[in-house]
Amino acid sequence: MYTQSARACGIDFGTSNSTAGWLRPGTSPLLALEDGKATLPSVVFFNAEEDSTCFGRHALAEYLDGYEGRLMRSLKSLLGSSLIDGQTEVLGRALPFRELLARFIGELKLRAEQSADRDFDTAVFGRPVHFVDDNPAADRQAEETLAATARAVGFREVSFQFEPIAAAFHYEQDIDREELVLIADIGGGTSDFSLVRLSPERARRAERQDDLLANAGVHVGGTDFDKYLSLRGVMPLLGLGSRLRNNSEVPSSYFFNLATWHTINFNYTRKIWMELQEVYRDAREQDKLDRLLRVIEHREGHWLALQVEQAKIALSDAESTTMALDRIREGLSHVVDRAVFEDATALLVDQVEHTVAGLLADAGLAAGKIDTVFFTGGSSGVPQLRRRIAALLPAARAVEGDLFGSIGAGLAVEAMRRYGPD
């Protein structure tokens, strides 16, 4: 379809995974970023033993191999939060969160350029419909922070496109008739939706504003599903909900921090360790607190979060899954049922369903008018989520895109449209 290479690339900086796309003749728009794969997990590991920094799968592998150091994940969650102007301690020195963000975006740019065998100074970045719900000022600040970070690492010109619209442009490359499509992008940090008219003829237009009927989003994503599954299905094994001798509950903050990717390290301070010694002495179920103390002493929080994430993924296809928790205690395993997962995350699914219903109402469209629901995003496979969206749109056919690559590929299409060929 394309006879020339694009001048600009598309960058999908995701909460869990990131991709880069670049249109050129005769090949896939997605660039290989790690070990021949198009996705680069949005992970940084600071290896204390080798005084090195690594990214993506390599970062996760070094961490899981037991190297001492600091693992950082869900970096996108920093955007729009109060944490962005703070700092954290890494290998004995203070690391501003803005610098952490720049390190990852810079690595993403470098790998895209190495894969394409050319430099990129112009990019269309994807962004969620809302970085921050119900706070336009914080939302603007989040986009400005991402733009400033991109410029700081060498992108001279930066623009943005909503992630579900980018996915729509990718889907449009493969259709042969006009469709009214709901794009459902359920990512690691947000759930974003767009109603778009798509067709082969419309794809040739330079201006598509009239084809975009409505956008909506909510700050619910895969990491939230992980968190609530962890709190309901795993943290009680470590003492959540257990009692002290005075019959009050063990403070829940330790468990909430462990269940949330970007706050796991909050539990690793000397202050928290001393607090937990006091809690332990007063705990009625010290065997459970033993497990919590082991996780914190050996800094196994990210490992545990990965096990929860894998359990969530497994429950998309199975009614139950067994978690091997041998790092907490030798031989420890735990069965989690899909029913537990669905009960734990019901309120999250309610929020997503409400967002889709509001989108239809804002667009003034009856549900029966929607031809297709196009699912993308790594968390769009959650069965309960799909059932609830299908119930809202019973006449629409469900199409599954590249769960991790549709947005990056669509941003590459948008980059060609905005900035033209080389």
Handedness of CA 237, 239, 243, 244 (dihedral sign): positive
Over residues 105-161, the pLDDT tens digits come to 999 999 999 999 999 999 999 999 999 888 999 999 999 999 999 999 999 999 999
State the Cα–Cα distance between residues 284 and 242, nearest whole angstrom.
7
Reported pTM:
0.88
DSSP per-residue string spanning 361-398: HHHT--GGG--EEEEESTTTT-HHHHHHHHHH-TTSEE
| pLDDT confidence of residue 232 | 97
Question: Tens digit of pLDDT for each residue in 330-341?
Answer: 999 999 999 999
C-alpha 396/C-alpha 408 separation (Å) is 25
Q: If you search the block for the tokens 């297709």, which residue do you land on?
A: 372
- Sorted by sequence, the CB contacts under 8 Å of residue 230 that are 6+ apart come out as 258, 259, 304, 305, 308
Q: How many residues does the chain have?
A: 422
Query: pLDDT tens, position by position, for the chain (422 residues)?
Result: 678 999 999 999 999 999 999 999 989 999 999 999 999 999 999 999 999 999 999 999 999 888 989 899 889 989 988 889 999 888 888 999 999 999 999 999 999 999 999 999 999 999 999 998 889 999 999 999 999 999 999 999 999 999 999 999 999 989 999 999 999 999 999 999 999 999 999 988 878 888 999 999 999 999 999 999 999 999 999 999 999 999 999 999 999 999 998 889 899 999 999 999 999 999 999 999 999 999 999 999 999 999 999 999 999 999 999 999 999 999 999 999 999 999 999 999 999 999 999 999 999 999 999 999 999 998 888 999 999 999 999 999 999 988 899 999 999 999 999 999 98
Q: How many CA atoms lie within 13 A of 366 on its CB side?
A: 3
State both tokens at 394.
Answer: 């019973």
Q: How would you classify residue 281: left for phi > 0, otherwise alpha for psi between -120 and 50, otherwise beta? A: alpha
- DSSP state, 154? T
Q: How many CB atoms lie within 10 A of CB 80?
A: 25
In the chain, how long is the greatest CA-to-CA distance? 74
Give the pLDDT of residue 91.
84
The one-letter amino acid code at 236 reads P
Could you tell me which CATH class the domain 9-174+403-419 is placed in? alpha beta
Q: Which residues of 117-144 are buried (b: 16+ CB within 10 A; e: fewer)?
A: eeebebbbbbbbbbbbbeeeebbebbbe
